[in-house]
Amino acid sequence: DAKTTQPPSMDCAEGRAANLPCNHSTISGNEYVYWYRQIHSQGPQYIIHGLKNNETNEMASLIITEDRKSSTLILPHATLRDTAVYYCIVRPPHLQGAQKLVFGQGTRLTINP
């Protein structure tokens, strides 16, 4: 799996958009970008994933650069409950079987009132 690089921590004001960057310069053509988050000490929770097009769901938007070497997770109107550690992962599609699902250190996002 391609390695990812994320800033260790970020702050954002409540109600503003939180933009979390991720670098994955060694990503392969068939590898997806996945985002998870971990609130306090709970189990991680899936947020969104994408291949090359931008994606949006009820939780967030994912912007992937045209060269696919980086992406940004956007939480459009951050709330205090969005305070969590956010993990960016890249991995091949499921058809290649079970892969090591490896998490990095993630970004600790703090939403301030």
Partner 1 sequence: NAGVTQTPKFQVLKTGQSMTLQCAQDMNHNSMYWYRQDPGMGLRLIYYSASEGTTDKGEVPNGYNVSRLNKREFSLRLESAAPSQTSVYFCASRGTGMNTEAFFGQGTRLTVV
Q: Applying CB under 8 A, which residues contact partner 1?
A: 34, 36, 38, 41-46, 49, 85, 87, 93-95, 97-98, 100-106
Min dist CB 104 to partner 1, Å, is 6
Q: What angle do CA 2, 29, 69 make, to 5 degrees?
A: 60
Min dist CB 93 to partner 1, Å, is 8
HEC string of 27-56?
A: CCCCCEEEEEEECCCCCCEEEEEECCCCEE
Min dist CB 110 to partner 1, Å, is 14
Of the two residues 68 and 106, which places its CB atom closer to partner 1 in the complex?
106
Q: CA neighbours within 13 Å on the CB side: how many for 93?
A: 5
Of the two residues 8 and 113, which places its CB atom closer to partner 1 in the complex?
8
Of the two residues 63 and 103, which places its CB atom closer to partner 1 in the complex?
103
Q: Are 5 and 87 in contact (CB under 8 A)?
A: no
